């Protein structure tokens, strides 16, 4: 696993300290709760235990029982109650212990939370966050990437960061946003990557992608853990003379079309890499955007490297076969570059 | 056939309260009668649901709330909306999908709310979802020091949803100041209550959550109000959520399209003879609170009000098509300024006051302490236990005997007798 390619949004250096992805998330919650008493945290085992991954460790001691709320195992109740709190001007953060369990609250999120502003002018400023993604042998119910269920839901915003800098800045932006924001934290990154975060307060804008590596021969679009995989593949491609431009989407909804189009108009080829399963993944949406708005700029087919259209299998041999990796990205990119 | 306990209306309210209840029940029915006319004239875009025969529940329960309290209606709670201050024109326009309606035509029926002034949360069609949402409003109100109570309704059918359980259990663990009215109208669309729930009294479900409950005759406006008032007062005092089962009957079909031929004739006849407005008028007359003249005054007042409201609604345009594209997201402070209304010192919930050393630890399990400095048990943050121990038994309208005892007493007849009730012979 390579290090995040620079801490800042464009790889710029910062004068902060090196922190893990997980520490960045914890800092964001801590600082937002410190800044605004309307921010509270709610979820299963987030208080006394500090969260299943220790993401909220120390928050209970600092902010007290009223603001760090251990709940029953009731995802619909957590989301519903947070929605009610947001109607009263609070800004609750809900933790899904594993993001796989977010579907237990699917109705509450997609029908109640997401539609309120459109239908009856009721903003629901709340964040739903939790550990997602595979590669850690969590099996079919602790490895999911359910982001696209929600990208298909108008009214939500969906964030899936790849670096500690972005995780902290985007989570702070999510807490301050007046809309319901889903914040996916790839658990493979929690303790495996470190990056610099600035000492002071900062946010990263929601809805803005970033170019992680500049190139001219093709564009690789990715996000979350696969962004690192894509960078690794780009390094290997560079040794063969293929300069890949790597885009980190960071936000999936709203999607930053401008950054995507600018890059593809330059490189004329596009490869999308995501850990989500292939059918119905964000690659399909990106393909549609390119066909609508950059058809004449394309010199080759849009290529997808994604997980298999299966549940996430448990055995390491199976899961490794299921997931994309740098080698698969490398081969697909090399093939695409020949056009 | 399940029948409700009859408390017998008692004279214990103020004159104006009796008349308010009457006015709102009549208004509730008149608004719905007018919408039936509009429906038949094809002026109502979608479905029309009726609360005929259940007006005492909507009106009596909502009347127990204060202005600052929050409610969230279900489809048959137009009476509750009227009591809370919603104008009839808004209800008409919602159904007619008009541009001036609270949702500007984006949704219909009672699917609208008002966060800032009336404190109403909009329902959605999926049943039970309001229970955790109103729990959250109650928790937020407590956190902000507002001393509010929240209320919502659910039907016998809706009580079978998973989120009913999740929500009520969460409310109970949090001791949220929340009152849930379970309107047992005996029918969930075409499915009778016995096919949904194998319980004589749905209020018994409260025991599973360790909360108190009441059973009340849903066609008795005074009893409904009295029970609701007691429950609201107790919830506000910090006793936690309370469940009220109001027994009644859905006189119309699920909606206008449904002739409800599956309902036994005897059942319908029994309940039609117990019309809540007719029962209440008899009571008011006997107590000399209503005579032909004052009744006529109420009717005239409602007639002239609704004529104006209907005209306004009919004259409102349909929304412009492009409105469909707008409003999915809050675009920032210019769109909505999110502001919590604090009615307690913020210092109480901000460090360093809440930054206190743990008073207990479990090895490997972190540590914690209540921010008020009390030695907190693991389950209730800063919620103080009530002064006296609260039982988990169902109580009658007058805070009388626990239901367990009543049920045992009445078990052979499968009915529940409540304190002060004069039971009449029933089929």
Query: In chain A, what are the domain boundaries?
Result: 17-197, 210-337
Residue pair A104/A75 in contact by the 8 Å Cβ criterion: yes
Instruction: Please tell me whether residue B318 adopts helix, strand or coil conformation.
Output: coil
Mean pLDDT of B262-285: 97
Shortest Cα distance, chain B CAs vs residue A110, angstroms: 11
Where residue B275 falls among pLDDT bands split at 50, 70, 90?
very high
Beta-carbon contacts of B274 under 8 Å, excluding residues fewer than 6 positions away, are B219
Residue pair B265/B259 in contact by the 8 Å Cβ criterion: no
Mean pLDDT of B18-29: 98
* pLDDT at res. A30: 96
Give the C-alpha distances (Å, rounded to integers) separating A11 from A200, A212, A217, A261: 18, 7, 20, 21
Q: Which residue has the tokens 């109570």?
A: B149
Shortest Cα distance, chain B CAs vs residue A203, angstroms: 15
DSSP B355: -
Q: Say if residue B23's pLDDT is above 70.
A: yes
**Which pair of structure tokens corresponds to residue B179?**
């009152």
ipTM above 0.85? yes
Rounded distance, CA B110 to CA B115, Å? 15
The CATH architecture that domain B15-325 belongs to is 3-Layer(aba) Sandwich (3.40)
Domain ranges of chain B: 15-325
Q: Inspect the interface and report whether the beta carbons of A125 and B102 lie closer than 8 Å.
A: no
DSSP B151: E
Residue of B133, B163, B170, B175 to mutate, interface with A, max A Cβ within 10 Å: B133
* pLDDT at res. B363: 41
Closest CA to B1 of B414, B308, B312, B357: B414
Q: Inspect the interface and report whether the beta carbons of A108 and B351 lie closer than 8 Å.
A: no
Rounded distance, CA B200 to CA B2, Å? 7
Q: Inspect the interface and report whether the beta carbons of A117 and B369 lie closer than 8 Å.
A: no
Closest CA to A169 of A183, A153, A155: A183
Q: Which residue has the tokens 């208080």?
A: A47
**Which pair of structure tokens corresponds to residue A62?**
């600092």
Rounded distance, CA B261 to CA A91, Å? 49
Q: Inspect the interface and report whether the beta carbons of A81 and B341 lie closer than 8 Å.
A: no
Each residue's pLDDT, cut to its tens digit, for chain A (339 residues) gives: 444 443 344 344 456 789 999 999 999 999 999 999 999 999 999 998 899 999 999 999 889 889 999 999 999 999 999 999 999 999 999 999 999 999 999 999 999 999 999 999 999 999 999 999 999 999 999 999 999 999 999 999 999 999 999 999 999 999 999 999 999 999 999 999 999 999 899 999 999 999 999 999 999 999 999 999 999 999 999 999 999 999 999 999 999 999 999 999 999 999 999 999 999 999 999 999 999 999 999 999 999 999 999 999 999 999 999 999 999 999 999 999 999
* pLDDT at res. B381: 35
What is the rounded average pLDDT for all residues in chain B? 86
Contact residues, chain A, for B350 at CB < 8 Å? 34, 37
* pLDDT at res. A328: 98
Instruction: Please tell me whether residue B180 adopts helix, strand or coil conformation.
Output: strand
* pLDDT at res. B9: 66
Strand ranges (DSSP E) for A102-209?
127-132, 157-159, 181-186, 194-197
Rounded distance, CA B60 to CA B65, Å? 10
| Chain B CB within 8 Å of residue A38 CB | yes
Q: Inspect the interface and report whether the beta carbons of A117 and B133 lie closer than 8 Å.
A: no
Residue of B93, B136, B328, B369 to mutate, interface with A, max A Cβ within 10 Å: B136
| Chain B CB within 8 Å of residue A205 CB | no
- Residue B226: exposure state from Cβ atoms within 10 A (0-12, 13-18, ≥19): buried
Q: Which residue of B has its CA nearest to A105?
A: B163
Which helix (H) or strand (E) segment holds residue B169: the answer is: helix B162-174
Q: Say if residue B71's pLDDT is above 60.
A: yes
Q: Say if residue B155's pLDDT is above 50.
A: yes
Q: Is the peptide bond before A254 cis (omega within 30 degrees of 0)?
A: yes
| Chain B CB within 8 Å of residue A74 CB | yes
Where residue B92 falls among pLDDT bands split at 50, 70, 90?
very high
* pLDDT at res. B10: 66
Residue pair B385/B377 in contact by the 8 Å Cβ criterion: no
Shortest Cα distance, chain A CAs vs residue B58, angstroms: 22
Catalytic residue positions of A, numbered: 142
Q: What is the CATH superfamily name and number for domain A17-197?
A: Thiamin diphosphate (ThDP)-binding fold, Pyr/PP domains (3.40.50.970)
Point out the residue among B141, B170, B358 whose CB comes nearest to the CB of A88. Answer: B141
Supply the CATH classification number for the domain A210-337.
3.40.50.920
Q: Say if residue B364's pLDDT is above 50.
A: no
pLDDT digits (tens, 9 = 90+) for B232-267: 999 999 999 999 999 999 999 999 999 999 999 999
Question: Of A25-34, B138-147, B193-202, B356-365, which gets the smallest average pLDDT?
Answer: B356-365
Q: Which residue of B has its CA nearest to A63?
A: B354
Shortest Cα distance, chain A CAs vs residue B183, angstroms: 21
Question: Of A153-162, A170-179, B81-90, B418-427, which gets the smallest average pLDDT?
Answer: B418-427
DSSP B120: B
Rounded distance, CA A294 to CA A263, Å? 11
Phi-psi category of residue A332: left, alpha or beta, with phi > 0 → left and psi -120 to 50 → alpha: alpha
Q: Inspect the interface and report whether the beta carbons of A107 and B129 lie closer than 8 Å.
A: yes
Point out the residue among A74, A86, A179 whose CB comes nearest to the CB of B166. Answer: A74
Q: Inspect the interface and report whether the beta carbons of B140 and A79 lie closer than 8 Å.
A: no
């Amino acid at each position: 696993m390579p290090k995040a390619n620079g801490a800042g949004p464009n790889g710029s250096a910062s004068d902060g300290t090196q922190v893990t992805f997980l520490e960045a998330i914890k800092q964001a919650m801590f600082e937002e709760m410190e800044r605004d008493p309307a921010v509270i945290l709610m979820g299963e085992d987030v208080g006394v235990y500090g969260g299943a991954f220790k993401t909220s460790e120390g928050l209970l001691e600092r902010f007290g029982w009223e603001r760090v709320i251990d709940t029953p195992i009731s995802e619909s109740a957590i989301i519903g109650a947070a929605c009610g709190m947001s109607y009263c001007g609070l800004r609750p953060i809900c933790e899904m212990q594993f993001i796989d369990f977010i579907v237990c609250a699917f109705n509450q999120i997609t029908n109640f939370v997401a539609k309120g502003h459109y239908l009856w002018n009721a903003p629901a400023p709340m964040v739903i966050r939790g550990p997602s993604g595979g590669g850690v042998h969590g099996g079919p119910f602790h490895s999911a990437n359910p982001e696209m269920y929600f990208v298909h839901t108008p009214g939500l915003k969906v964030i899936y960061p790849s670096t500690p800098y972005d995780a902290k800045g985007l989570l702070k932006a999510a807490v301050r946003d007046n809309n319901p924001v889903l914040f996916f934290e790839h658990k493979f990154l929690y303790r495996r990557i470190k990056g610099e975060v600035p000492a002071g307060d900062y946010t990263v804008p929601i809805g803005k992608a970033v170019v992680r590596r500049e190139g001219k021969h093709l564009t690789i679009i990715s996000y979350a853990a696969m962004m690192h995989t894509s960078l690794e593949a780009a390094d290997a491609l560079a040794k063969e003379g293929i300069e890949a431009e790597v885009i980190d989407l960071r936000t999936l909804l709203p999607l930053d079309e401008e950054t995507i189009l600018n890059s593809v108009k330059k490189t004329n080829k596009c490869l999308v890499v995501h850990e989500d399963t292939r059918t119905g993944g964000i690659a399909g949406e990106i393909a549609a955007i390119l066909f609508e708005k950059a058809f004449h700029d394309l010199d080759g087919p849009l290529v997808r490297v994604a997980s298999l259209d299966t549940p996430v299998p448990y055995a390491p041999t199976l899961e490794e076969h299921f997931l994309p990796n740098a080698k698969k990205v490398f081969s697909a990119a090399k093939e695409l570059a020949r056009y | 056939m399940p029948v409700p306990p009859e408390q017998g209306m008692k004279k214990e309210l103020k004159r104006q309260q009796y008349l308010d209840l009457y006015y709102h029940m009549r208004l509730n029915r008149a608004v719905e009668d007018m919408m039936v006319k509009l429906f038949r004239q094809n002026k109502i875009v979608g479905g029309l649901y009726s609360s005929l025969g259940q007006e005492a529940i909507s009106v009596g329960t909502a009347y127990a709330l204060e202005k600052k309290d929050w409610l969230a209606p279900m489809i048959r709670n137009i009476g509750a909306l009227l009591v809370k201050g919603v104008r009839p024109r808004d209800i008409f326009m919602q159904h007619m999908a008009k541009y001036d309606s609270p949702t500007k035509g984006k949704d219909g029926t009672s699917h609208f709310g008002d966060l800032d002034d009336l404190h109403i949360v909009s329902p959605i069609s999926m049943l039970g979802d309001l229970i955790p949402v109103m729990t959250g409003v109650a928790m937020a109100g407590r956190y902000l020091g507002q001393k509010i109570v929240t209320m919502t309704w659910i039907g016998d059918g809706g009580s079978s949803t998973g989120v009913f359980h999740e929500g009520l259990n969460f409310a109970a663990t949090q001791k949220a100041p929340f009152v849930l009215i379970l309107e047992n109208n005996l029918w969930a669309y075409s499915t009778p209550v016995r096919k949904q729930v194998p319980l004589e009294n749905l209020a018994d479900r409260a025991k599973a959550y360790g909360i108190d409950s009441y059973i009340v005759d849903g066609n008795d406006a005074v009893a409904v109000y009295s029970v609701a008032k007691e429950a609201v007062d107790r919830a506000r005092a910090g006793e936690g959520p309370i469940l009220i089962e109001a027994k009644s009957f859905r006189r119309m079909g699920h909606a206008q399209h449904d002739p409800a031929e599956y309902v036994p004739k005897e059942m319908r006849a029994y309940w039609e003879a117990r019309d809540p407005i007719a029962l209440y008028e008899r009571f008011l007359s006997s107590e000399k609170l209503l005579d032909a003249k004052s009744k006529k005054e109420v009717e005239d007042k409602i007639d002239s009000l609704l004529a104006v409201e209907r005209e306004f609604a009919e004259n409102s345009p349909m929304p412009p098509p492009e409105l469909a594209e707008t409003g999915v997201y809050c675009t920032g402070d210019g769109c909505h300024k999110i502001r919590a209304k604090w009615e307690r010192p913020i210092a109480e919930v901000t460090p360093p006051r809440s930054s206190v050393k743990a008073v207990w630890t479990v090895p490997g399990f972190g540590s914690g302490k209540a921010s008020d400095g009390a030695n907190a048990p693991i389950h209730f943050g800063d919620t103080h236990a009530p002064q006296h121990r609260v039982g988990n038994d169902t109580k009658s309208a007058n805070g009388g005997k626990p239901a367990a005892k009543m049920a045992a007493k009445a078990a052979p007849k499968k009915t529940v007798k409540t304190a002060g009730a004069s039971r009449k012979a029933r089929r």
